[in-house]
Amino acid sequence: MGKHGTPDDTGSDGAVSESTAGESSAETSSPTAPAATGPDADLSALDGAGAENAKVTAVVDVTDVDPRLADPEVVAEAVAPQRDINTQVGGALLEVRGLTVQFGGLKALDDVTFDIKRGEIFGLIGPNGAGKTTCFNAITGVYSPSAGSVTFDNKPLGRVKRHEITRRGIARTFQNVRLFGEMTALENVVVGTDARHKTSVFGAALRSRRHYREERDAVDRGMALLEFVGIGARAAEQAKNLAYGDQRRLEIARALATEPKLLCLDEPAAGFNPSEKTALMGLIQKIRDDGYTVLLIEHDMRLVMGVTERIVVLEFGRKIAEGTPSEVRENPAVINAYLGVPDDEIA
């Protein structure tokens, strides 16, 4: 790749997050609504502050990117989380207690309890219909729990709205890719940075010094994140034209743009071939090593066992096991859930 952000060839791997949108472009804006990729993509996928402004298409000039971002060390420094976190490393960043989600007479999640420690990669697994995504949605504010509680960084989430949950530091990706298809890869990531912007509508309209500085920083951080996830060469390409794997990586980059304390990945390896899954494992470990905490939902057991430090297993909405990958792998209840071993053999 010659000049930063100028694509040399076409795609490889990426996707979207529950980030925010707004006036985070580096130049001007056009009043046309961006097309989101994926069968059910819409603006509700971006639940941060100012999401109502996500209809505005950003215009970001990749030639404005700081040339120092060609240096991997500068990229790592730019991507590293800058937020204050109350929880000490190794302490419980997320505490789930007795979480229950009920739809009519059906309990999709039944009295689930676990902790996620700051600085770890935590896995949430289970067969289809086990309640994994329901748990994800209850944590991130998509569903309101019927009972139980969720505490994040020593503060209860309660009935906190989704955009406020994003501001508090929880970002997520989705099973189905949700991107602004008409926007470039860089513009999609710049949208995510709006979660941390402090410029008022009045300040943005007047192009205040703070607004200009936030836009400038958003472009540089967006480019750094694209480099970090491995698609910096695709910065100027429209999201809809990226290869599926690159769209998944783009979704992760946009989630990271919100500067989360906890990054939640919902089946990020869906549709990947073995080599792409291996590369994804490396990326997830790289994200953790850079200072982030990761919650991973995934069906691929090789990926989960190879990248996580602790795992919780759900079946029919209830927790049936918790422990290290080796402990979970040997747990009779987990073997029964996945392989259908007769109950009398695990009694």
135-139, 215-219, 330-334: which has the minimum mean pLDDT?
215-219
18-22, 138-142, 270-274: which has the minimum mean pLDDT?
18-22
Q: Is the model's pLDDT at 196 over the cut of 70?
A: no
Collapsed DSSP state (helix, strand, coil) of residue 260: coil
Q: Do both 74 and 121 map to the same domain?
A: no
Q: Do both 249 and 267 map to the same domain?
A: no
Per-residue pLDDT at 57: 44
Q: Do both 243 and 126 map to the same domain?
A: no
Q: Is the model's pLDDT at 56 over the cut of 60?
A: no
Q: Is the model's pLDDT at 186 over the cut of 60?
A: yes
Q: Do both 290 and 303 map to the same domain?
A: yes
Q: Do both 264 and 341 map to the same domain?
A: yes
Judge whether 179 lies within some domain.
no
Per-residue pLDDT at 180: 78
pLDDT level of residue 78 (50, 70, 90 thresholds): low
Q: Do both 264 and 337 map to the same domain?
A: yes
Separation of alpha carbons 168 and 151, rounded Å: 11
What's the whole-model pTM score? Answer: 0.74
Q: Do both 210 and 143 map to the same domain?
A: no
Mean pLDDT, the chain, rounded, equals 77
Q: Do both 254 and 223 map to the same domain?
A: yes
Judge whether 27 lies within some domain.
no
pLDDT level of residue 327 (50, 70, 90 thresholds): very high
Judge whether 177 lies within some domain.
no
Nearest alpha carbon to residue 250 among 60, 236, 54: 236
Q: Do both 150 and 191 map to the same domain?
A: no
262-266/170-172 β-pairing: parallel
Q: Do both 265 and 158 map to the same domain?
A: yes
Per-residue pLDDT at 291: 87
Judge whether 31 lies within some domain.
no
Nearest alpha carbon to residue 54 among 170, 188, 150: 188
Beta carbons of 18 and 194 less than 8 angstroms apart: no
Domain boundary among 258, 283, 315: 258
| Residue ranges making up the domain that contains 300 | 87-169+260-346
Structure confidence by residue, pLDDT tens digits, 210-224: 655 667 777 888 888
Structure confidence by residue, pLDDT tens digits, 244-286: 999 999 999 999 998 899 999 999 998 888 899 999 999 999 9
- Looking at mean pLDDT, say which of 8-12, 26-30, 32-36, 223-227 comes out highest: 223-227
Q: Do both 130 and 188 map to the same domain?
A: no
Q: Is the model's pLDDT at 346 over the cut of 80?
A: no
Structural domain tally of the chain? 2
Residue 111's CATH number:
3.40.50.300
Tell me the average pLDDT across 19-39. 38
What secondary structure, in 3-state letters, does 18-52 show?
Answer: CCCCCCCCCCCEECCCCCECCCCCCHHHCCCCCHH
Domain boundary among 224, 258, 292: 258
Judge whether 40 lies within some domain.
no
